[in-house]
């Protein structure tokens, strides 16, 4: 008998009473704690004691040229001076998420392990630009510490998702059951031949989907730059007269996914259709009318 997926509860405390202000995230029976804030708030938030402990953090923001998310993973013992240096040396970031422990459970080897795992996962998922110049080596941990840090990492990923940062896991790794059971949608036009499905995080285009090489002159800059980045990252690979998607890839919306595959502006809720020809918009309307 298969075990049911159990729900989990996170406690998010809005420290200054605003949804976009400092958020402190905790979970029952977990030693970890997360702090999330904007760059502009850091000068106030940095006085908190969590920044005087060993911790692992991410700073992230949107690239002004490519509109792609950029992210840097770091660690420190303590983290305060490291993050302060990023204020002077790194302009791209607008948000920060710090993880530390409620007690003194995390040591230098632990946070180095978490940093290395996060960088590796982000590089594999290819859902953002990684600003780390190299991949930190994994430190040697005992068998018990290794198990503890993998459990700690699982909780970190849950918190990242709750805070809207889902860049460390590929769509198939994170939602295999959804990918297998979701209604597959099709996009075909002038040589483009793509398959995908709508998910709670965005729209996933499936590995092997074919995108048009030629772009229309009126292609929006954001779509053109996103295509260029996917090609540069080895995610859109030339294959004959089209580009082929090298792995399942999560786009922020059906329209963004359709635009990338077609090389033009596109309404994804009209372009993506099921096997009978019903558009995504029509399918959504059908579900709404049934409920």
Q: Which residues pair with 244 in a beta bridge?
A: 210, 237
186, part of any domain: yes
Number of other residues whose CB lies within 10 A of the CB of residue 117: 20
pLDDT of residue 62: 87
Q: What pLDDT is recorded for position 119?
A: 96
CA distances from 51 to 9, 34, 42, 71 (A): 25, 11, 11, 19
Both 45 and 144 in a single domain? yes
Is 41 within the bounds of a domain?
A: yes
pLDDT of residue 174: 47
Domain presence at residue 263: yes
The total number of structural domains in the chain stands at: 2
Question: Is the pLDDT score of 196 beyond 90?
Answer: yes
Among 154, 169, 184, the domain-final residue is 169
Phi, psi of 24, rounded to the nearest 5 degrees: -110, 120
| pLDDT tens digit sequence for 55-96 | 999 999 988 776 778 999 999 999 999 999 999 999 999 999
- What CA–CA distance (Å, rounded) separates 122 from 233? 13
Q: Are residues 180 and 273 in the same domain?
A: yes
Indicate if 185 and 273 belong to the same structural domain: yes
Residue 182 lies in a domain: yes
Q: Is residue 1 part of a domain?
A: no
Residue span of the structural domain in which 255 resides? 173-290
Whose tokens are 């920060």? That residue is: 96
Nearest to 231 by CA among 126, 87, 142: 126
Whether residue 20 sits in one domain with residue 140? yes
Residues 192 and 281 occupy one common structural domain: yes
Alpha helices in the chain (DSSP H): 42-45, 80-89, 108-125, 143-162, 171-174, 176-181, 221-232, 254-262, 268-271, 280-290
Whether the per-residue pLDDT at 291 is higher than 50: the answer is no
- Tell me which residue has tokens 């068998």: 143
- Domain for residue 89, yes or no? yes
Same domain, 152 and 184: no
Are both 87 and 113 inside the same structural domain? yes
Q: Helix 221-232 vs helix 254-262: angle between axes, to the nearest 10 degrees?
A: 70
Query: Do 180 and 112 fall within a single domain?
Result: no
Q: 22 and 124 share a domain?
A: yes
Residues 145 and 267 grouped into a single domain: no
pLDDT-based confidence at residue 171 (cuts at 50, 70, 90): low
Residue 181: what pLDDT? 54
Q: 169, 196, 221 — which closes off a domain? A: 169
**Which residues make Cβ contacts (< 8 Å) with residue 280, sequence separation at least 6?**
185, 198, 254, 268, 269, 270, 272, 273
Which of the residue ranges 2-16, 89-103, 193-207 has the most confident prediction, judged by mean pLDDT? 89-103
161 and 50 inside one domain: yes
Q: Are residues 121 and 187 in the same domain?
A: no
At which of 118, 148, 169 does a domain end? Answer: 169
Rounded mean pLDDT of 40-63? 95
In a domain, 164, yes or no: yes
Give per-residue pLDDT as tens, 238-283: 999 999 999 998 888 999 999 999 999 999 999 999 999 999 999 8
Surface-to-core class of residue 288, CB atoms within 10 Å of its CB (0-12 exposed, 13-18 middle, 19+ buried): exposed
């Amino acid at each position: 008998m298969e075990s049911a997926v159990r729900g989990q509860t996170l406690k998010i405390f809005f420290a200054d009473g605003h949804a976009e202000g400092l958020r402190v995230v905790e979970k029952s029976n977990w030693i970890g704690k997360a702090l999330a804030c904007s760059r502009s708030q850091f000068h106030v938030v940095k006085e908190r004691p969590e920044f005087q402990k060993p911790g692992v953090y991410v700073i992230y923001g949107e690239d002004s040229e490519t509109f792609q998310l950029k992210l840097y993973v770091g660690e420190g013992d303590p983290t305060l001076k490291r993050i302060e240096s990023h204020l002077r040396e790194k302009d791209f970031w607008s948000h920060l998420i710090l993880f530390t422990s409620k007690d003194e459970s995390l040591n230098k080897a632990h946070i180095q392990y978490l940093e290395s795992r996060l960088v590796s996962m982000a590089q594999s998922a290819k859902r953002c630009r990684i600003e780390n110049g190299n991949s930190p080596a994994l430190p040697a941990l005992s068998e018990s510490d290794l198990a503890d840090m993998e459990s700690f990492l699982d909780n970190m990923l849950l918190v990242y998702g709750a805070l809207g940062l889902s860049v460390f896991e590929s769509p198939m790794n994170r939602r295999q059951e959804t990918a297998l059971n979701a209604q597959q949608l099709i996009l075909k036009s002038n040589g483009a031949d793509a398959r995908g499905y709508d998910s709670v995080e965005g729209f996933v285009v499936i590995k092997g989907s074919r995108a048009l090489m030629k772009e229309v002159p009126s292609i929006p800059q954001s779509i053109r730059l996103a295509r260029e980045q996917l090609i540069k990252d080895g995610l859109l690979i030339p294959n004959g007269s089209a580009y082929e998607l090298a792995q399942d890839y999560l786009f922020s919306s059906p329209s963004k996914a359709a635009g990338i595959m077609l090389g033009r502006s596109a309404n994804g809720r009209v372009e993506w259709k099921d096997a009978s020809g019903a558009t995504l918009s029509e399918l959504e309307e059908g579900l709404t009318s049934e409920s």
